[in-house]
Amino acid sequence: MFAKRQSALAAAAGAPPEPRSRAAVDGLLAALKKPPVAAGAAGVFVVGAAALFVAVLGDPRAGAPSASAALERASTAETAPTGAEAFGFSGLDIYQDLGPIDPALMGEEGAAGGEALITLPDGASVASGQGFSAPVRAPSNPLPKAPIAGLSQPGPNGPLPRIAADGRVPAQAYARPFRSNGKPMVALVVGGLGLNSATTRAAIERLPAEVTLSFVPYAEGLQTWIDLARAHGHEVMIELPMEPTGYPDNDPGPYTLLSSGGADDVAVKLDWLLARATGYFGVTNYLGDRFATSDEGMGALMTNLRQRGLAFLDDGSMRRRPGAFARASADRVIDEEQTPAAILRQFNALEAAAKTHGAALGTGFSYPVTVEAAARWTAGLEARGLQLAPASAMTRRPGR
């Protein structure tokens, strides 16, 4: 290889150089004989001629009007409304179409098609599967960590609440301490918690400690949620699924208390439901208008709760059913219509009832709009001459 390269270099070195001008002209003529090159050259000639024309005679459009605009790609993302926008007088229609949260769409891994963003008052926001962003309320007088010694006993599915040997009862020991200041009292229960991490954390961390929280017994990590709620000062309840009209098409779950089940069926299902966690002062109903018509079923439920020292608070649909260790019924469901304007009207009616009767209890579900409205409403209660109380303060012992 090296010998051939040396021979080629030697041969080239002995030949005289070709004149530069003649070689360039011959190369250009040869290239122009090719059709593609010829067409390109013609195009260049036309453009050059036009440029020369403009340079000599001037721009023929020099006197015509002209305009220019900078183009930007439009963003398809919509900005989530702030809490102030949602509750401003001009923004009450933002949540008009907001409906119940589907746990399948807003689970631990986020909503299908993207994470759900919930914007709360003062700029706070939560996203499904993520932590709750500041500002949040600092824990207010954390409640003792559950279980409290002496208030539980082993059961077939886990620890069950009981009355302690010294007479202490869960309905009092796990309740948030409260002292009346003489003003009319209002209480609020926010339920449906534990199935969705975003709304559950928002309710725990954004609502005042005096707001009572109720949890779904089927929620995973239920004890962790209850521990977090109590660490923020909230007293908690467990929701008992009860047979509604339309059952089984309208089915609250496998441990639903049935009007046809009898006392034994109620006892077996309660053993599972009440053993899901510890630290609750009472229970509340989830649905149950048909179960409420069963004297045997309701009697068995109330007897069991009384023997275990638990309170029972209903949504107002079981007001005529006495029993349990302590009882209360809600005066209003505040979010049957899930719009800010409708919820605020219910809050106003709750305040009016409290001023008339001295106390009033409301209950609602953990819709994002409910959490927002409750956070805003509770902030101004003191200025309006009312005292926010935990729901346990509304309960009364039968016969007292």
pLDDT at 201 over 90: yes
Residue 339 within any structural domain of the chain: yes
By mean pLDDT, which of 91-95, 308-312, 343-347 is the weakest?
91-95
pTM above 0.75?
no
Over residues 167-193, the mean pLDDT reads: 98
Structure-model confidence comparison of residues 2 and 189, the more confident one? 189
Q: How many domains does the chain have?
A: 1
Rounded Cα distance, 19 and 16, in Å: 9
In percent, how much of the chain has pLDDT > 90?
Answer: 62
100: left (phi over 0), alpha (psi -120 to 50) or beta: beta
Residue 181 within any structural domain of the chain: yes
Residue 16 within any structural domain of the chain: no
202: left (phi over 0), alpha (psi -120 to 50) or beta: alpha
pLDDT at 26 over 80: no
Q: Write down the residue that tokens 């609440």 correspond to.
A: 161
Residue 230 within any structural domain of the chain: yes
Residue 85 within any structural domain of the chain: no
Residue 83 within any structural domain of the chain: no
Rounded Cα distance, 378 and 69, in Å: 50
What are the pLDDT digits (tens) for 42-95? 554 544 544 444 444 444 444 444 444 343 433 333 333 333 333 333 333 332
What are the pLDDT digits (tens) for 224-259? 999 999 999 999 999 999 999 999 999 999 999 999
Residue 60 within any structural domain of the chain: no
Over residues 147-165, the mean pLDDT reads: 97
pLDDT at 32 over 60: no
Residue 72 within any structural domain of the chain: no
CATH of the domain at 216: 3.20.20.370
Structure-model confidence comparison of residues 367 and 24, the more confident one? 367
What are the pLDDT digits (tens) for 272-287? 999 999 999 999 999 9
By mean pLDDT, which of 109-118, 205-214, 223-232, 367-376 is the weakest?
109-118
The residue type found at 391 is A
Structural domain that includes position 363: 168-394
Rounded Cα distance, 296 and 298, in Å: 6
